[in-house]
Amino acid sequence: MQTLLIALASLIAYFIAYHTYGRWLSRKIFKLDASNTAPSIECEDGDDFVPTSKGVVFGHHFTSIAGTGPIVGPALAVIWGWLPALLWVLFGSIFIGAVHDFGALVISMRNKGQTVGDISGRVLSPRTRILFLSILFMALTIVLAIFGLVIAAIFKMFPSSIFPCLIQIPIAVIIGAWLHRKGINLLAPSLFALAVMYLSVAYGDWGFLHAFNTTLAGWPIIAWVGLLLLYSYIASVLPVWILLQPRDYINSLQLLSAIGLVVVGLFIAGIFGFQNGGERMPLEIVAPAIRIGADAPSDAPWIFPFLFVTIACGAISGFHCLVSSGTSSKQLKCETDAQFVGYGSMLTEGFLAVLVILACVAGISLGVPEMLDGKATGDTLTGSAAYSAKYDAWGSASKGAISAFVEGSANFIRTLGLPGKFAVALMGVFVASFAATTMDSACRLQRYVTQELGEATGIKPLTNKHSATIFAILIAGAIAAMPAAGESWQLANLGKGGLILWPLFGAVNQLLGGLAFLVILFWMWRRNLPIWFVAIPAAFMLVLPAVAMISQLFVGDGAWISGKTPNPLLAAIGIATLALEAWILIEAAAAWPKAKGLLEQPA
């Protein structure tokens, strides 16, 4: 019953937050006005600026900001206990993450759809623009370099998810052409897409498709990385309505309906338990509420600040400011839709993160396969033994976080009487689809950032969308193609190069959130608007990543500078990141006294 009450209370809290705090921000602070001309209409080009209904934009925005972040982060963070993770997700998403995403979306719409990096040059200082864009470029490069590996790993763990994920591409093109026709109602194409995608999950591993999935699951990682980067290039340069927007929309239909199945299954399991053979098992939380100090795994990092870096998406993620100000602001056709897309999407992601936590600390208690040396033994672990098997150490939790969510959430779906194989395949598609939509959106965002950097530095070839995209893909691809640190240059190891820089991403991503808050703060300060509700999260998100980065540089045996095996590459990038943050803060401190009430130059 405790699991059910947590889910229900979280859902009610998010509903109340949207209709109180979100409405206050919308009406009293940002003063959204339907009569204001949206960038999608003012700058309409049929390519990036495309006026679109809020339902379709919500689908794009939600799937792009979510990715695997609200799954992997919370699924790993419950190693410190479920209560700290839950509190950070709830309070972080309502008072920090949703404000960050909503604010970035609004100021971008008020600045002709420019990214927060571009806007920073006018609300702070011209030098800040290049500094900010440089951090954006680095963060997106890491995303592009790592997500091909993430998707390939998911396909290897859950081969039955391959065909259902691939079939989404032609479905998206059909839906895109369908929706692009004027006056088409969303209901018919939505039902068509949803039906085809669920059929692909149910039958996508039957007969010859099983051999197809198995063959592709055996591909070397470098092959998947290359194919996914090529796909990302195509999705980035095509008009947004052809592939990226409809794919994100139809994915959101499947993902939100899957979340609905998980919720219904959780409620049934919470009330009636789960029938496992002849035994009815109660749904209960089997993880400790708090697991720190002497009870913490010996190899786990400190809960502070690393809880707040481990759980980014689901609470607050700097990557979201790029989606808000990079793609979504160019598609909304009415300014008043920004609350639904900006604030509402983040609360939806927060609720997803709550479900992930419950799946990993309660759902797995209903049964997970026992593993030995990476292979299933044929036995099933239940209760606290299932949690202990997944979270006995930081290393095993890092590798098993995704499987803990997939298996735990699949158990919720199984309470509906659906086959276990279907439930696991559906949740495998769920994770892989989130990762894929984030990757193609990240490539498009990187193209925008590269073009803005080209304008800021006077490098004209980078202002072209094709050359900017190719430049971004080549850099990410060169990093991704390498083996992980310490591995030999063999075919099986190629494609893991993103792991080299991945330890940087948590702190860099959260720093990006702090810098986006800084831009929002200055934009409001120049307009004499209240700033306390932005200033507090801004300070938190500027200090927190810096503390995390300093800890990674100097604290513990694995420290990049003072550890047993120093890492000069990560140390150099970490120090450079801290230096960029310090420089931006100096620029901000110098501009602050002069900025109050003084509007910046228009876009």
- For residue 131, tell me if it sits in a domain: yes
Beta carbons within 8 Å of 537's beta carbon, 6+ residues apart: 95, 96, 99, 100, 316, 517
Beta bridge partner(s), residue 371? 376
Domain residues for the domain of 328 are 2-595
pLDDT tens digits, 260-297: 999 999 999 988 887 666 677 888 999 999 998 777 78
Alpha carbons 346 and 340: distance in angstroms, whole number? 10
Alpha carbons 236 and 587: distance in angstroms, whole number? 33
- For residue 603, tell me if it sits in a domain: no
pLDDT band at 385 (very low <50, low <70, confident <90, very high): confident
At 384 the pLDDT is 86
Beta carbons within 8 Å of 216's beta carbon, 6+ residues apart: 155, 159, 162
Q: Where are the beta strands (DSSP E) in 172-291?
A: 274-276, 279-281
- What tokens were used for 1? 């019953």
Q: Where are the alpha helices (H) located in 69-125, listed in sequence order?
A: 69-77, 82-92, 98-109, 116-123
- For residue 34, tell me if it sits in a domain: yes
Q: SS3 for 280?
A: strand
Is the pLDDT reported for residue 537 higher than 90?
yes
- For residue 600, tell me if it sits in a domain: no
Beta bridge partner(s), residue 372? 375
Alpha carbons 54 and 341: distance in angstroms, whole number? 7
Contact indicator for 345, 65 with CB cutoff of 8 Å? yes
DSSP state of 342: I
Q: Over the range 145-154, which residues count as b (16 or more CB within 10 Å of their CB) and which as e?
A: bbbbbbbbbb
- For residue 66, tell me if it sits in a domain: yes
Percent of the chain residues past pLDDT 90, beyond the cut: 61
At 560 the pLDDT is 93
At 309 the pLDDT is 92
Alpha carbons 490 and 114: distance in angstroms, whole number? 43
pLDDT band at 375 (very low <50, low <70, confident <90, very high): low
- Please tell me the total count of domains within the chain: 1
Is the pLDDT reported for residue 373 higher than 60?
no
Q: At CA 508, angle to CA 562 and CA 116, rounded to 5? A: 155
At 18 the pLDDT is 98
Alpha carbons 176 and 328: distance in angstroms, whole number? 16
pLDDT tens digits, 299-319: 888 898 899 999 999 999 999
pLDDT tens digits, 461-510: 999 999 999 999 999 999 999 998 888 898 888 999 988 888 888 899 99
Helix and strand numbers (H, E) in the chain are: 26, 4
pLDDT tens digits, 551-562: 999 988 889 999
Is the pLDDT reported for residue 8 higher than 60?
yes
Q: SS3 for 378?
A: strand
- For residue 49, tell me if it sits in a domain: yes
Is the pLDDT reported for residue 601 higher than 90?
no
* DSSP notation for 26-37: IIIIS---TTSP
- What tokens were used for 569? 């590459």
Residue with tokens 């202002």: 463
Q: Pick the closest to residue 107 from 191, 194, 36, 43 (CA basis).
A: 36
